[in-house]
Structure 1
């Protein structure tokens, strides 16, 4: 009953709750206030610009292997299950590191974590491209898994900070900052396949990976000089978050948001591990053209990022979540239909499936932050920074868990043993069950109407 009352009050934009959370804000010591006041408007804008560039690069690093690695892995002798393991290894590492980053990150090490993460990403995406020169399948498979796993650690460290850093510079525009980040991430998802399709014919398979790695390393250096210095926090402030994140994840409210969202992201891992091979075998799309087939999906994702950000600020985030779950379920079932109607499966059909995937993925991201932050406030988060960190890290866990299971279980094991069509059917059943659970949770807590970012998160 207490939980329902809190969520109902939050739903109505309660000023009392905002005041309660503001009272817990620990970073109000004179030193930190003076530091923020000395931080010029131009430098704040530079921070947002660098974060936007890093979001684009992270998106590119995530999307680049999807169209090109599965056929290359097949040429090196990997099985479909092994390809799924490689595709999921980034997210296994990302998931594990998310727990560590969520528990250990505090205002005194935000900049260090973000810069270290971008450097890891730049090094590993470049190394992944160079593995193409490895002979055979055994060592090649092992190094692919290790490289992508280290990349996942970098993604967890980087993505966790992409939201808190710009929000600190423009706290009154928290929703807009989240929208900018997701739009830029979508642009990166859009640019990865294009860069691959343009550079592979010119410089070979490794060229786009090296280009992405060098570019991200450059922006890591820029971020070091542009990002705000870490806060001067006491040891008590540094340590108080340790363990809170795991306790938060164990609550029934958090799980009622996280698990259904994880299932939506199954589709992302399934896509990276299986789509390009299926399109190649069933439709005959060649490797050099594959990146362009994936481009419309990324365009849809990038465009939807801005639209969803506006909808969330207008209170329609829950509608975006429901749209994401319904459309993802219908798309999975539609992917099963060519089993009975093979003439449906054309290049246009593949593009349409990917576009809808992009729309449904992006419709979940910004609202996921909103719901997780809502639950974090209810569960007694110690500060505004902690609320934002919980939101970012929970989303990393959602994305990573979904992509792991989507790539290894659906795109790998089930796809190898049951085939693409029946794997899609099984996925649609999972989506129906978890979406129903989510809707029941939202309805019981009065959250099916409009829901806004709490005032405390933008003050």
Structure 2
């Protein structure tokens, strides 16, 4: 064979170089993919390393902005409670049971929509981003508040009802998005303090819910139906600018919305029996909150001849009591206090409060405004116990069953939490309006209180039988008292 034949041609050399470069590129690509996979797995395993890397200043800015936003949003939710029911009844052709039901539906339609929207929105955080969802939902709530100021000018009853329902429907979607994005931002910034984070959110909600009816009652007495909605719409608009300016863009990568994939589903979560127990707790505690909403002001006006502003105080003191216990309960649950024990105590307090607020006819107690307010305060305390301790309980239950990463569980828990809250708060106003019109306020609250106390017994038995740690804590408590 000749020397020319033994030497490779230029074509062969170029082909060999291309094959070698291709192998090098493939090796680099595999290494980069492996590094990305390790990084994602690390993020999923550590449950919040990215969020923990945020500076203390950024974390505190997120906390302050979200807390202020939730306070204002919930003030807007509670704004119409003292006066809308009476104003709507004036437009109704007759004070029939059907019209009472429809007015209750106007209160509750927003929360029914929240019930349906919250789980979907929790999954969509990965596509939208928590900050963007928070900003858009706040804008929509502000716009709906502004539109609601004009409905009282509609004279035709059917059109009035249709406009109210449409506006409240859109507001419900926006409120669900607002809560889910707020929860995502906070648990991403403070992954080690689920109970305290939920306590902060619920405290902000309680403070806003307390301010809303009082503000609504005052402004309604000053200049009628439209003024409360004008004012809250403007405040929400100012708050919207602050959210855009002060929430750091980097907070959009919070853990709850990062890599939220389909490997954890709501069907899996709902297959865990104890999740249902907690969701029922959230449902019935918010049911009584919604139950009281359209009827308490009417009861206080009729029974004690109170003006609108003082009727609104009934809502306010319940919300203040609710907000006052949320942070201490969240702190205790994060440390060592069993969340199931806290829920059982809260349910019992709610049941007793419902029997006292009327008071129940079988108690044969005289009507007293001070006594009614005390019962409402206790009701707010009981609801706070259940609301704050429920989310840590769900998260611990899901973690014990190995369902998903911490970030996925937190986002899913936010959706489930808001769905149960919204369903209870949606059923409550319709039940309150209908049951009160049928049997009266005293008998209606007495019936709800009896259901509470029955469920407290069922829940307590289930908690003791399923939680060995709770049994040990109760035994230690008994030994300490003896």
| TM superposition score normalised by structure 1 | 0.83
CA distance 1:263–1:175, shift in 2 (3 Å): closer
**1:26 and 2:44 aligned:** yes
CA distance 1:24–1:384, shift in 2 (3 Å): farther
State the match for 1:47 in structure 2: 62
**1:142 and 2:158 aligned:** no
State the match for 1:10 in structure 2: none
Cα distance in structure 1, aligned partners of 2:281 and 2:206: 22
Cα distance in structure 2, aligned partners of 1:137 and 1:450: 60
**1:63 and 2:78 aligned:** yes
Asked if 1 retains the 8 angstrom alpha-carbon contact of 2:125 and 2:181, the reply is: no
CA distance 1:441–1:342, shift in 2 (3 Å): closer
Shift in Å, 1:73: 1.5
CA distance 1:76–1:87, shift in 2 (3 Å): same
State the match for 1:96 in structure 2: 116
CA distance 1:382–1:216, shift in 2 (3 Å): same
1:35-84 per-residue CA deviation (whole Å, 9 max, x = no partner) reads: 975x5432322111110111111221222222221111212216221221
1:395-439 per-residue CA deviation (whole Å, 9 max, x = no partner) reads: 21221111122111x212222223223322321232233223322
Q: How does 1:200-211 map to 2 (within 5 A)?
A: 200-211=220-231
Asked if 2 retains the 8 angstrom alpha-carbon contact of 1:84 and 1:411, the reply is: yes
Shift in Å, 1:294: 2.9
State the match for 1:444 in structure 2: 465
State the match for 2:298 in structure 1: 277
Count of aligned pairs = 424
**1:371 and 2:386 aligned:** no
Asked if 1 retains the 8 angstrom alpha-carbon contact of 2:281 and 2:386, the reply is: no
Cα distance in structure 2, aligned partners of 1:147 and 1:163: 24
Cα distance in structure 1, aligned partners of 2:471 and 2:232: 42
1:237-256 per-residue CA deviation (whole Å, 9 max, x = no partner) reads: 35426x70243134322112
State the match for 1:360 in structure 2: 382
1:326-370 per-residue CA deviation (whole Å, 9 max, x = no partner) reads: 011112222454536787223223322321221111111110111
Cα distance in structure 2, aligned partners of 1:392 and 1:236: 15
**1:198 and 2:213 aligned:** no
**1:84 and 2:104 aligned:** yes
CA distance 1:295–1:400, shift in 2 (3 Å): same
**1:325 and 2:347 aligned:** yes
State the match for 1:455 in structure 2: none
CA distance 1:209–1:232, shift in 2 (3 Å): closer
SS in 1 for 2:259: helix
Asked if 1 retains the 8 angstrom alpha-carbon contact of 2:357 and 2:372, the reply is: no
Shift in Å, 1:93: 0.7
Q: What runs of 5+ residues in structure 1 fail to find an aligned partner?
A: 1-21, 452-459
Cα distance in structure 1, aligned partners of 2:470 and 2:45: 34
1:263-318 per-residue CA deviation (whole Å, 9 max, x = no partner) reads: 12211110112211122223322223322333322221221122222322332233
Cα distance in structure 1, aligned partners of 2:62 and 2:393: 26
Asked if 1 retains the 8 angstrom alpha-carbon contact of 2:292 and 2:429, the reply is: yes
Cα distance in structure 1, aligned partners of 2:332 and 2:203: 14
Cα distance in structure 2, aligned partners of 1:63 and 1:90: 12
CA distance 1:341–1:427, shift in 2 (3 Å): closer
State the match for 1:399 in structure 2: 421
CA distance 1:338–1:175, shift in 2 (3 Å): closer
State the match for 1:457 in structure 2: none
Q: CA RMSD in A?
A: 3.0
Alignment partner of 2:238 out of 218, 228, 231: 218
Q: What runs of 5+ residues in structure 2 fail to find an aligned partner?
A: 1-39, 474-482
**1:415 and 2:436 aligned:** yes
Asked if 2 retains the 8 angstrom alpha-carbon contact of 1:274 and 1:412, the reply is: yes
Q: Which has the higher contact order (CA 8 A, sep 6+)?
A: 1
CA distance 1:422–1:386, shift in 2 (3 Å): same
| TM superposition score normalised by structure 2 | 0.80
Shift in Å, 1:261: 2.8
Cα distance in structure 1, aligned partners of 2:413 and 2:50: 27
